[in-house]
Structure 1
Amino acid sequence: MARALLIDPDTTIPAEEMMLSFARSSGPGGQNVNKVNTKAVLRWNVAATDAITETVKKRFLKQYANRVNQAGELVLASDIHREQIRNIAACYDKLRQLLLPVLHPPKRRRSTRPTRGSVERRIAEKKRRSDQKKQRRFRPE
């Protein structure tokens, strides 16, 4: 039932790499919740995938290490909708949203000098704090 997932024009995760399973949703809903398996659980083995490059894989595993299990699988679940199809779409969307930020390397930060105003404010605050501490000192006369 899984379908290939298009992340961006250059990146597609094939359906064979993802595994969908279903379970009963939690929470209120009465008879529908008790009878129908609407919760969707998507499993994707990040460690074994060929859909993304090694550098993207490293960035993904570094950024989402807490979401990947010991077997290298990312497990996403959705039970917010009443329909199974919408929960499947929500799982795919979650995966897409996790992958988009790591597809491209982050821009390198160019260091800048602090502005004159910020330096002056910092020095003035240090002077004020120094004076405040000087006032606390005991000076016998």
Structure 2
Amino acid sequence: MMQHVWKRLLSSKIEPALQSASKWVEQLDLRKVPVNLFAVRFDRASGPGGQNVNKVNSKCTLMLYNFSNCSWLPQEVRSQILQKSRYYARSSDSIVIQASESRSRESNKKLALEKFVNHIKEVCWFPKPTEDTTIAKWDQIKRSSHEKRLNNKKMHSDKKKLRKSKDFF
């Protein structure tokens, strides 16, 4: 158990794939999203809004089909989104995002893309490198526990030796 925690904490170097995925998420913005991969659909929005609601198809629905094989997202980001995203539809292997806040089609499309980018930044988490002070602290803990274990073994051994000897004085 202690060795498992020890190895995990001592992995101060992050794997290159995780490091590049983390950098990709940090640099992700609206302009880098390839809109042509999304299927865009405009529908009538529900709710109050007068007669205009019944006439204008302004609600935007963006769908990214075949998400698990989408090549413009790093594999580490895709795997986290597959596990944690509320926008992921398992039955169709797609991401579905809707926006109906505005009356304009283009602004709703932009809002849906912003939702997608913000959601990626919220969902994706990558470990940071372990600091040298933390590594030194765990190294000290490991050494002290090792010494304590050896001392306990020695005391137990001495206790058994005393039981075997016939002459106490």
With the shorter chain as reference, the TM-score category is: 0.5 to 0.7
When residues 58 and 35 of structure 1 are mapped into structure 2, their CA distance, relative to the original with a 3 A threshold, is same
How far did residue 32 of structure 1 move? Answer: 1.0
The two structures, once aligned, show a CA RMSD in angstroms of 2.7
CA spacing shift, 1:26–1:41, aligned 2, 3 Å:
same
SS in 1 for 2:92: coil
Structure 1 residues 101 and 107, CA gap change in structure 2 (3 angstroms): farther
Given candidates 64, 83, 101, the residue that maps to 1:44 is: 64
Name the aligned partner's letter for residue 49 of structure 1: C
The structure with more strand, counted as a fraction of residues: 1
Other structure's SS at 1:57 match? helix
State whether structure 2 residue 103 is matched by structure 1 residue 91.
no
**Residue 22 (str. 1) matches residue 45 (str. 2):** no
Q: How far apart are 1:15 and its partner, in Å?
A: 2.6
Identity of aligned residues (%): 25
Match of 1:122 in 2: none
Residue in 1 that maps onto 2:88: 68
1:17–1:49 CA contact under 8 A, matched in 2: no
Shift of 1:75: 0.5
In the TM superposition, residue 56 of structure 1 has moved relative to its aligned partner by 1.3
Runs of 4 or more consecutive aligned structure 1 residues displaced over 6 Å after TM superposition: none
* 2:72 maps to 1:56: no
Q: Which sections of structure 2, spanning at least 5 residues, go unmatched?
A: 1-24, 138-169
TM-score when normalising by structure 2? 0.53
Indicate if the aligned counterparts of 2:63 and 2:96 stay in contact, CA closer than 8 A.
Answer: yes
> Gaps spanning 5+ residues in structure 1: where?
1-6, 113-141
Report whether the alignment pairs 1:101 with 2:122: yes
Counterpart contact for 2:81–2:88, Cα < 8 Å: no
Give the paired residue count: 104
Instruction: Give yes or no for contact 2:39–2:62 (8 Å, CA) kept in 1.
Output: yes
Distance 1:102 1:80 in 2: 23
Worse overlay, 47-56 or 11-20: 11-20
**Higher helix proportion (structure 1 or 2):** 2
